[in-house]
Structure 1
Amino acid sequence: MVRISTGTFYDNSIQAMNQQQSALLNTQLQLSSGKQINTPADNPAGAAQIIDLTQAAGMNTQYQNNITAAQNQMSMASSVLQNITTLVQNVQSTVISANNASLNNSNRQTLATTLQQQLTQLIGLANSQDGTGNYLFSGTKGSTKPFIVTSSGVQYQGNSGQQLMQVASGRSMPTNVNGADLFMSIPNGNGYFVTSNSASNAGSGAISQGGLASPPPTPAQQGNHYTLTFSITAGVTTYTVSGTDASGVALPAASLPSANQPYTSGQTIAFNGIQFNIQGQPANGDSFNVAPSTHVPIFQTVQNLITLLNTPLPAGNSTASSNFTQQLQTAEGNLNQGLNAILTGNVALGTNLSTLTNLTATENSLNIQYQSTISQIQDTNYTSTLSLLSQEKLSLQAAMQSFTSISSLSLFNYLR
């Protein structure tokens, strides 16, 4: 037989009622706070899950903030590049206007003044800053003004680096295009080779910008330099092609067109995967050059045009006129290449902006999932919790009534 002392009965009863009262208070707290986990002790596993989910949601929010910052920076850069595109197209229009035989020196100088204004605008746009004062096109040197005007021309002070921003777990994205790629590393000519009149030419011949033929040049031919030398014998004009490879070694005759090719103004000249034409009448001994394309900053191209238009052109001098036309054609080719570089940079920004738009939708969806999962684990289910509260109240009331009834019993009550 187990005997329970009065003290033990009191202790056990009070402990049980305290536990029930504590459970009741906890249920009331869940109702008042709206959370079923108010301390880790309420649900250790659930509390750990909430910590992990909250951290993931916080990282996701940071990614969203990064995406917004990246979108703002890239949108601003894209807008500036659109303005630059329009400006370069205006420069091209000015060059087309200059290629007019009816213009006199004064007219060309007026166009040069227009080009000078356009160059100043171009440099200003290339030095654009974002809302925080950082330069848009200086690579990773955001606080450094990218373009400065020196006695030797416009110099680039930035670098070719890309600013990266983390926009998702394990994923970073460039948020800029650097000024070196946009404005400095511009291939001249047609992007593969550049043509020119020799300075000593006396005839009226002018060589076109040209382009690649089919089939294109082999890699071994890509660094070749060619010279077309003209001769006139008995009124018949012919040309002979000579050349050197990238190391300056003379090309074998078998790799070139045979000597004394007949010349017709405007007729296509094609060999070794390249093609071009020469308009006008070269003089005996005149020569024309074809060299691999190099890099000419777009600022230098515009400055060369300004110098060209400010230089008086002798009236009635066909040689000077052909050289002038040749230089305008070269500038037009350089501007086309420059515009392509700017458009390419803007396309890259547009592609990245599109990607960020898609990422924004993904991050928003993830954020909703995180919050939903946290809510499922943490938030109070009012229907079930109210039902539990009623049960706990009844249990506590029953326990208190039972304790009162039992504690009032005494053996002496039955011995009277």
Structure 2
Amino acid sequence: MMRISSVTMFEQGMSSMNRQQSEFMQVGQQIASGRKVVNPSDDPQAASRAVGVSQSLAVTEQYADARVSARNSLSQEESVLDSVSDAISSAKTLIVQAGNDTLSDADRESVSSELKGIYETLIGQANSTDGNGRYLFGGYQESDPPYVSSDGEVRYVGDDQVKEQQIDASRKMPSGDSGDAVFNSVPNGAGYVARADDGNIGDVTFKGPNRVDATADGYGEAYDVEFYEDGGEMRVEVLDEAGDPMELNETGDTSLAYSSLENGDVPLSFAGLEMTFKGDAPGDGDSFHVAPAEEGNTNLFRSMEDAIAALENENQTPADDAALRNTLSSVSRELDNSLDNVLTVRASVGARINELDVVDAVGDNRTLSYENNMSELVDLDYAEAISEYSLAQVGLQASQKAFADINSLSLFDQI
């Protein structure tokens, strides 16, 4: 029969009791922390995977913060663009009103004053800031006003590049638009705009140009419509960009008698365009420049400045009246193009906000997936843990009782 020494029994009892106490404390730590992996040694594989999931979750949260920032910027821009479109519409209404034949110089001066108010409002909107004092339409130059006034003209001094936000792993989104894209541009397909030469001396006014055939030869190029006297007859010709006269009818004529246009009843046709001219006495050398909208004046503020200046001039002669009406006609079309451009940019802003909503939904689902994975890896099942806690407690108490009973045994008890 093998004899077991008292030292061996003591050591075995202590070892069993320490093991039970360690298991009991470990379960207690899990319950207290709510995590089944308190230390990496508890489950090295789960701890390693949890680190990767945690990093992915942190990156996803950073993208979510970027989307919040982008949405705030775009929402502010959309609000400003809404005000800008209202201001341009009001200016267009005043331009139409200013063309009324019954208005006097004083009446036009009053219209000019209203236009000045809208003009100043537009400058203020172009220099709008966000809640942190950063200019919305300055691009990367967000600390200084993008539009400055000098010598009676408003100029853009901001950056053509716009800030972008990394809203997802594979998507960078512009969080704004440059002032150049909003206030100094026209939309694609804006058509043509005509402007009368400042030196015109006749009373001829124009309407158009209107597009008839965008597939015609020469459509998309710039032209000059010029009036000249030949043998006592006033004639009209159209010069291309090289200065060469265009053929204006099927017989190959490069000039027409002004009278053949029948004072606005017969259009002048060239390069897929039509223009009508009215007036009793065109001046020798009078000209009108016709160009695609993107090649002409695209500056909203210059259009407003031209209209204000024209309305403030005294209207004393037929030539003065023609100059006013031609300017208002050009400005009216330029304002239409500017309004279309602002609405196009605003639609782009709305599309980006909608995209943010979609990416937010995807990001929320991704976050939920990461959180579920993290929970499966490290979170504690309380029902199971409490059961283990009770068993560990019973085991510890049993080992303590056994240790005490064994250590109290003595041969003297048997005497």
TM-score tier (shorter): 0.7 to 0.9
Q: Which moved more, 1:400-409 or 1:162-171?
A: 400-409
Q: Does the CA contact (< 8 Å) of 2:31 and 2:385 recur in 1?
A: yes
Q: Does the CA contact (< 8 Å) of 1:231 and 1:283 recur in 2?
A: no
Taking the aligned partners of 1:340 and 1:252, their CA distance within structure 2 comes to: 31
Q: Does the CA contact (< 8 Å) of 1:215 and 1:273 recur in 2?
A: yes
Task: From 222, 225, 237, give the equivalent of 2:223.
Answer: 225
1:297 maps to 2:299: yes
1:41-66 residue CA offsets vs partner (Å, 9 max, x unmatched): 21222222222222222222222222
The 3 A distance-change label for structure 1 pair 284 and 362 is: closer
Residue 123 of structure 2 is matched in structure 1 by: 123
How many corresponding residue pairs?
A: 407
1:73-119 residue CA offsets vs partner (Å, 9 max, x unmatched): 11111111111111111111111110011111111111111111211
Q: Secondary structure of 1:176's match?
A: coil
Residue 192 of structure 2 is matched in structure 1 by: 193
Taking the aligned partners of 1:133 and 1:328, their CA distance within structure 2 comes to: 37
Q: Which moved more, 1:225-234 or 1:371-380?
A: 225-234
Q: Does the CA contact (< 8 Å) of 2:115 and 2:304 recur in 1?
A: yes
Alpha-carbon RMSD across the aligned residues, in angstroms, is 3.1
Taking the aligned partners of 1:374 and 1:118, their CA distance within structure 2 comes to: 57
Q: Does the CA contact (< 8 Å) of 2:297 and 2:334 recur in 1?
A: no
TM alignment of 1:1-400, pairs within 5 A: 5-186=5-186, 191-198=190-197, 203-217=202-216, 222-229=220-227, 239-245=235-241, 248=242, 250=244, 258-261=253-256, 262-264=260-262, 265-283=264-282, 285=284, 287-292=286-291, 293-314=295-316, 317-400=317-400
Q: CA deviation at 1:194?
A: 3.0
The 3 A distance-change label for structure 1 pair 35 and 187 is: closer
Q: Does the CA contact (< 8 Å) of 2:207 and 2:275 recur in 1?
A: yes
The 3 A distance-change label for structure 1 pair 280 and 3 is: farther
Normalising by structure 1, report the TM-score: 0.87
The 3 A distance-change label for structure 1 pair 296 and 408 is: closer
The 3 A distance-change label for structure 1 pair 44 and 194 is: same
Q: Does the CA contact (< 8 Å) of 2:303 and 2:331 recur in 1?
A: yes
Q: Does the CA contact (< 8 Å) of 1:187 and 1:295 recur in 2?
A: no
Taking the aligned partners of 1:285 and 1:205, their CA distance within structure 2 comes to: 11
Q: Secondary structure of 2:208's match?
A: coil
Q: Does the CA contact (< 8 Å) of 1:229 and 1:239 recur in 2?
A: yes
Q: What letter is aligned with 2:306?
A: N
Q: Does the CA contact (< 8 Å) of 2:197 and 2:289 recur in 1?
A: no
Q: Does the CA contact (< 8 Å) of 1:196 and 1:289 recur in 2?
A: yes
Taking the aligned partners of 1:363 and 1:272, their CA distance within structure 2 comes to: 53
Q: What letter is aligned with 1:273?
A: G
Taking the aligned partners of 2:199 and 2:359, their CA distance within structure 1 comes to: 60
1:256-302 residue CA offsets vs partner (Å, 9 max, x unmatched): 95234432323333222222222344547465434323234111111
1:176-212 residue CA offsets vs partner (Å, 9 max, x unmatched): 1111111124589x94433234556555432223133
Question: % of aligned pairs identical?
Answer: 22
Q: What letter is aligned with 1:299?
A: F
Q: What letter is aligned with 2:138?
A: S
Q: Secondary structure of 1:313's match?
A: coil
Q: Which moved more, 1:117-126 or 1:52-61?
A: 52-61
Taking the aligned partners of 1:238 and 1:129, their CA distance within structure 2 comes to: 55
1:330-364 residue CA offsets vs partner (Å, 9 max, x unmatched): 01011111112211221111111111122222222
Taking the aligned partners of 1:167 and 1:357, their CA distance within structure 2 comes to: 11
Taking the aligned partners of 1:2 and 1:362, their CA distance within structure 2 comes to: 71
Q: Does the CA contact (< 8 Å) of 2:202 and 2:282 recur in 1?
A: yes
The 3 A distance-change label for structure 1 pair 132 and 185 is: same
Q: Which moved more, 1:283-292 or 1:385-394?
A: 283-292
Q: Does the CA contact (< 8 Å) of 1:211 and 1:274 recur in 2?
A: yes
Q: Which moved more, 1:73-82 or 1:10-19?
A: 10-19
The 3 A distance-change label for structure 1 pair 150 and 162 is: same
Q: CA deviation at 1:5?
A: 4.7
Taking the aligned partners of 2:351 and 2:390, their CA distance within structure 1 comes to: 60
Q: Secondary structure of 2:275's match?
A: strand
Q: CA deviation at 1:249?
A: 5.5
Normalising by structure 2, report the TM-score: 0.87
Q: What letter is aligned with 1:99?
A: G
Taking the aligned partners of 2:197 and 2:156, their CA distance within structure 1 comes to: 31
Taking the aligned partners of 1:200 and 1:172, their CA distance within structure 2 comes to: 50
Q: Secondary structure of 2:148's match?
A: strand
Taking the aligned partners of 1:333 and 1:48, their CA distance within structure 2 comes to: 66
1:145-197 residue CA offsets vs partner (Å, 9 max, x unmatched): 11111015112121111111121223221111111111124589x94433234
Q: Secondary structure of 1:351's match?
A: helix
Taking the aligned partners of 1:295 and 1:323, their CA distance within structure 2 comes to: 17
